[in-house]
Amino acid sequence: MMTVDSYSELKQYVGSVPRAGTEETRDAAAAIRAQAQLMVCVYAKDAAGIKAIFAEAGAPDLIESLRSPRYFPIHAAVASGHSGVLRALVDALPTDLLDLKDETTRTPLMCAAEQGLSAAVHTLLAGHASVDVTDRAGYSALMWAAAAGHADTVKVLLGYEVCERSPESDHPVGIDRRDQHGNTALMLAVRAGHYEVVEVLIARGADVNAANMHGERALSIAIALGRHRMVRLLCDRQELDLNAMDPKGVTPLMQAADYASATYDSSILNLLLKRSIRTEMRDHDGHTAVLRMAHHGSDIALECLLAGGASPDALDPTGCGAVALAAKTNNVLALRYLLQLNTRRVDAQDHGGRTPLFHAVVNGNREAAKLLIKYGANVNFWHDASNADLLTVARRRGDPVIISLLVEHGAEEGAGAPSRARLMACVG
């Protein structure tokens, strides 16, 4: 925060005999000495001493030197927690110096906000310190307080916010100010898990739909981190867009399904399904939430989605349904659940004429192939585009386990081939 000189070192420096030099160097040394004397008073919590320093004839030079300081007495006063010392400095210094940035580019107000020193925040704001100044990361004092979880300090800061409105929305500018990554105070509070701060910010009109440069919103952050209470709190806002997509087309429902799959905790997913949420939206790969879960998710997420009204019959851009996608990726848990639910899709063909078992064989997915055969998949399926049956495809791949599995269940080379009459008809 500041040049680290101990109290004893500062006292020794203040009491030392100034070195000879030019008038300019003597003036500079005197200014630094005065700054050091201020620091001594701050460390000693001597408000009267601070007032006495600013009452001296050299006070204007001291104030000017603080614009390019060696020491940061007002930052130190905040850290000291002594209200009298801070008040003495706030009363003595011009307003612009209340927003002086230390080596970390933080102002005294930011330091007080991060530490949750509400009284210090109030003192600085009453002295007209700016709530709009940001540090090099783009953080304002409000962001520091929100990220640190100081709800009372957040309330104090919001009480001094300028109620200026953004031209793009009806939200106050200050409350939705963004850091260099596009995060707002609300996003920071959600990410850090500070429920009470989130409550305060939402009640004061924070934009619940704001997105950062990565496309994250408060809701998506809460879902990804499993913050159930925050998800419910956000969903209770009528203005919340429950179907907002991120840059990859992923919706909150899809994200909640991903979370349920990873943790086997479906509470957030079920919460969203009880809201006015669209279940058939597609990501940029053309997958619905159900198709995504068939591809890489769990049976528990699939069960919740289907129970919540999502369609089991959606197809991806290649014509693959949920069963085929599960077979392609060897997602056995999802595949078993889907087949137990309904076996009529066991031989459904995609736009390329491939069945789920064909996908399992081509990809060497032994467990998926075994499961599909158990639920009645046609082992003698003929794929026209490959001009081959499944057994031939398996032999081309050289997978002895799948070859044995197919033969064991009645697969024969050429058994599913089109008849000569059919071939002639096709040629004719």
Q: Which residues contact 57 (CB under 8 A, 6 or more apart)?
A: none
- Counting residues of the chain whose pLDDT is more than 70, the rounded percentage is 88
Model pLDDT, residue 10: 54
pLDDT per residue as tens digits for the range 292-305: 999 999 999 999 99
Give residue 182's pLDDT: 97
**Residue 30 pLDDT class (50, 70, 90 cuts):** confident
Longest Cα pair distance anywhere in the chain, in angstroms? 114
Average pLDDT value for residue range 209-226: 98
426 has pLDDT over 80: no
Check pLDDT > 70 for residue 161.
Answer: no
d(C-alpha 344, C-alpha 40), whole Å: 83
| Mean pLDDT to the nearest integer, 247-270 | 97
Q: Read off the pLDDT of each residue in 96-115 and give the average, rounded to a whole number.
A: 96
pLDDT value for 68: 84
What was the pLDDT predicted at 70? 86
Average pLDDT over residues 4-13: 55
Lowest mean pLDDT among 87-96, 153-162, 291-300: 153-162
Whether the pLDDT of residue 33 is over 90: the answer is no
What does the pLDDT average to over 81-98? 95
**Average pLDDT, integer, range 309-326:** 97
Q: Stretch 213-226: mean pLDDT, rounded? A: 98
Look over the chain and give the mean of its residue pLDDT values, rounded to a whole number: 90
What is the model's pLDDT at position 164?
A: 46
The answer, yes or no, to whether residue 168 has pLDDT greater than 80, is no
410 forms bridges with which residues in the sheet? none
Above 50 in pLDDT, residue 280?
A: yes
Question: SS3 string of 302-369?
Answer: HHHHHHCCCCCCCCCCCCCCHHHHHHHCCCHHHHHHHHHHCCCCCCCCCCCCCCHHHHHHHCCCHHHH
In the chain, count of helices (H) and strands (E)?
25, 2
Rounded Cα gap, residues 290 and 282, in angstroms: 10
Q: How confident is the model at residue 27 (pLDDT cuts 50, 70, 90)?
A: low
Q: What is the pLDDT of residue 25?
A: 56
pTM (predicted TM-score) = 0.86
Query: Considering only 5-19, 197-211, 395-409, which range has the smallest mean pLDDT?
Result: 5-19
